[in-house]
Structure 1
Amino acid sequence: MLNMPLFAVAERAVNWSPSVAVVMIVCNIIAIAIGRATISRKNVGPAPTTFGGMSLAALIGSASLGHILGAGAILGLSNLGVL
Protein backbone atom coordinates (compact mmCIF):
# COMPACT_ATOMS: atom_id res chain seq x y z
CA MET A 1 0.00 0.00 0.00
CA LEU A 2 2.91 2.35 0.52
CA ASN A 3 3.99 2.07 -3.15
CA MET A 4 0.68 3.22 -4.65
CA PRO A 5 1.76 6.88 -5.14
CA LEU A 6 4.90 5.69 -6.97
CA PHE A 7 2.85 3.62 -9.39
CA ALA A 8 0.64 6.60 -10.12
CA VAL A 9 3.65 8.70 -11.16
CA ALA A 10 5.17 6.11 -13.53
CA GLU A 11 4.46 6.81 -17.17
CA ARG A 12 3.94 4.08 -19.75
CA ALA A 13 6.79 3.63 -22.22
CA VAL A 14 6.38 3.81 -25.97
CA ASN A 15 5.47 0.59 -27.78
CA TRP A 16 8.01 -0.99 -30.09
CA SER A 17 7.75 -0.07 -33.75
CA PRO A 18 10.15 -0.02 -36.70
CA SER A 19 10.79 3.68 -36.12
CA VAL A 20 11.94 2.91 -32.56
CA ALA A 21 14.32 0.30 -33.97
CA VAL A 22 15.71 2.77 -36.50
CA VAL A 23 16.41 5.30 -33.74
CA MET A 24 18.25 2.66 -31.69
CA ILE A 25 20.30 1.48 -34.69
CA VAL A 26 21.29 5.04 -35.60
CA CYS A 27 22.33 5.75 -32.01
CA ASN A 28 24.45 2.59 -31.92
CA ILE A 29 26.15 3.51 -35.21
CA ILE A 30 26.91 6.97 -33.84
CA ALA A 31 28.30 5.49 -30.61
CA ILE A 32 30.52 3.02 -32.48
CA ALA A 33 31.84 5.89 -34.61
CA ILE A 34 32.55 7.89 -31.43
CA GLY A 35 34.28 4.85 -29.93
CA ARG A 36 36.46 4.30 -33.00
CA ALA A 37 37.49 7.95 -32.96
CA THR A 38 38.17 8.33 -29.23
CA ILE A 39 39.38 4.99 -27.83
CA SER A 40 43.16 5.18 -27.87
CA ARG A 41 43.94 1.43 -27.56
CA LYS A 42 41.21 -0.31 -29.53
CA ASN A 43 42.99 -3.66 -29.94
CA VAL A 44 43.66 -4.46 -26.27
CA GLY A 45 41.76 -7.27 -24.59
CA PRO A 46 40.19 -10.55 -25.60
CA ALA A 47 39.53 -11.23 -29.27
CA PRO A 48 41.42 -8.32 -30.85
CA THR A 49 40.05 -6.90 -34.08
CA THR A 50 36.58 -8.43 -33.91
CA PHE A 51 34.61 -5.68 -35.58
CA GLY A 52 36.00 -2.78 -37.54
CA GLY A 53 39.44 -2.93 -35.94
CA MET A 54 38.05 -2.84 -32.39
CA SER A 55 38.49 -5.46 -29.68
CA LEU A 56 35.55 -7.12 -27.99
CA ALA A 57 35.84 -4.84 -24.96
CA ALA A 58 35.83 -1.70 -27.09
CA LEU A 59 32.87 -2.95 -29.10
CA ILE A 60 30.83 -3.81 -25.98
CA GLY A 61 31.66 -0.44 -24.45
CA SER A 62 30.64 1.42 -27.58
CA ALA A 63 27.42 -0.58 -27.91
CA SER A 64 26.62 0.13 -24.26
CA LEU A 65 27.00 3.84 -24.90
CA GLY A 66 24.81 3.45 -27.98
CA HIS A 67 22.04 1.82 -25.97
CA ILE A 68 22.19 4.59 -23.35
CA LEU A 69 21.97 7.22 -26.10
CA GLY A 70 19.22 5.27 -27.83
CA ALA A 71 17.10 4.94 -24.70
CA GLY A 72 17.38 8.65 -24.06
CA ALA A 73 16.57 9.51 -27.67
CA ILE A 74 13.56 7.17 -27.76
CA LEU A 75 12.16 8.53 -24.48
CA GLY A 76 12.78 12.11 -25.58
CA LEU A 77 11.22 11.65 -29.02
CA SER A 78 8.22 9.83 -27.56
CA ASN A 79 7.63 12.64 -25.05
CA LEU A 80 7.78 15.14 -27.92
CA GLY A 81 5.22 13.07 -29.81
CA VAL A 82 7.51 12.19 -32.71
CA LEU A 83 7.47 8.43 -32.03
Structure 2
Amino acid sequence: MDVVTRWNSSLDMIERYLEQQQAIAAALLSSEVRRNAREIDNLDAADIADAEDIVKLLTPLKKATTVLCDESRPTISLIMPLKHMIQ
Protein backbone atom coordinates (compact mmCIF):
# COMPACT_ATOMS: atom_id res chain seq x y z
CA MET A 1 0.00 0.00 0.00
CA ASP A 2 2.76 2.44 0.92
CA VAL A 3 5.37 3.65 -1.50
CA VAL A 4 8.51 2.04 -0.06
CA THR A 5 10.49 5.28 -0.08
CA ARG A 6 7.63 7.41 1.19
CA TRP A 7 5.60 5.86 4.03
CA ASN A 8 3.43 8.98 4.30
CA SER A 9 1.56 7.82 1.21
CA SER A 10 -0.88 5.85 3.40
CA LEU A 11 -1.70 9.01 5.31
CA ASP A 12 -2.16 10.89 2.04
CA MET A 13 -4.48 8.15 0.78
CA ILE A 14 -6.63 8.17 3.93
CA GLU A 15 -6.85 11.97 3.94
CA ARG A 16 -7.92 11.96 0.31
CA TYR A 17 -10.56 9.30 0.96
CA LEU A 18 -12.00 11.34 3.84
CA GLU A 19 -12.08 14.45 1.64
CA GLN A 20 -13.84 12.59 -1.18
CA GLN A 21 -15.99 10.30 0.96
CA GLN A 22 -19.36 11.61 -0.27
CA ALA A 23 -18.35 11.43 -3.92
CA ILE A 24 -17.03 7.89 -3.48
CA ALA A 25 -20.24 6.78 -1.75
CA ALA A 26 -22.31 8.30 -4.55
CA ALA A 27 -20.20 6.59 -7.21
CA LEU A 28 -20.53 3.23 -5.46
CA LEU A 29 -24.31 3.61 -5.51
CA SER A 30 -24.43 4.13 -9.27
CA SER A 31 -26.12 1.42 -11.28
CA GLU A 32 -23.10 1.03 -13.56
CA VAL A 33 -20.78 0.22 -10.67
CA ARG A 34 -23.33 -2.06 -9.03
CA ARG A 35 -23.88 -3.95 -12.29
CA ASN A 36 -20.16 -4.73 -12.62
CA ALA A 37 -19.50 -5.63 -9.00
CA ARG A 38 -20.88 -8.59 -7.11
CA GLU A 39 -20.55 -7.07 -3.69
CA ILE A 40 -19.47 -3.60 -2.68
CA ASP A 41 -18.42 -2.94 0.89
CA ASN A 42 -18.83 0.56 2.25
CA LEU A 43 -17.07 1.91 5.28
CA ASP A 44 -19.40 2.41 8.22
CA ALA A 45 -19.32 5.23 10.78
CA ALA A 46 -16.87 3.33 13.00
CA ASP A 47 -14.49 2.82 10.07
CA ILE A 48 -14.65 6.53 9.22
CA ALA A 49 -13.99 7.44 12.87
CA ASP A 50 -10.98 5.09 12.88
CA ALA A 51 -9.66 6.70 9.69
CA GLU A 52 -10.04 10.16 11.23
CA ASP A 53 -8.18 8.98 14.35
CA ILE A 54 -5.37 7.58 12.19
CA VAL A 55 -5.06 10.94 10.41
CA LYS A 56 -4.87 12.74 13.77
CA LEU A 57 -2.19 10.32 14.94
CA LEU A 58 -0.03 10.34 11.80
CA THR A 59 -0.23 14.03 10.83
CA PRO A 60 2.34 15.21 13.43
CA LEU A 61 4.68 12.42 12.33
CA LYS A 62 4.31 13.47 8.71
CA LYS A 63 5.08 17.08 9.62
CA ALA A 64 8.15 16.00 11.58
CA THR A 65 9.51 13.77 8.82
CA THR A 66 8.90 16.47 6.24
CA VAL A 67 10.84 19.02 8.30
CA LEU A 68 13.68 16.62 9.07
CA CYS A 69 14.02 15.57 5.43
CA ASP A 70 14.69 19.14 4.37
CA GLU A 71 18.30 19.09 3.21
CA SER A 72 18.56 22.82 2.60
CA ARG A 73 19.07 23.75 6.25
CA PRO A 74 20.46 22.20 9.44
CA THR A 75 17.86 20.10 11.22
CA ILE A 76 19.57 19.00 14.45
CA SER A 77 18.20 22.03 16.31
CA LEU A 78 14.66 21.00 15.34
CA ILE A 79 14.71 17.57 16.96
CA MET A 80 13.58 18.61 20.46
CA PRO A 81 10.78 20.95 19.29
CA LEU A 82 9.54 18.24 16.93
CA LYS A 83 9.69 15.66 19.72
CA HIS A 84 7.49 17.88 21.88
CA MET A 85 5.09 18.46 18.98
CA ILE A 86 4.67 14.71 18.48
CA GLN A 87 4.07 14.04 22.16
> What band does the TM-score fall into relative to the shorter chain?
0.3 to 0.5
* Larger relative contact order, structure 1 or 2 (CA cutoff 8 Å, min sep 6): 1
TM value normalised by structure 1: 0.35
Q: Which has the larger radius of gyration?
A: 2
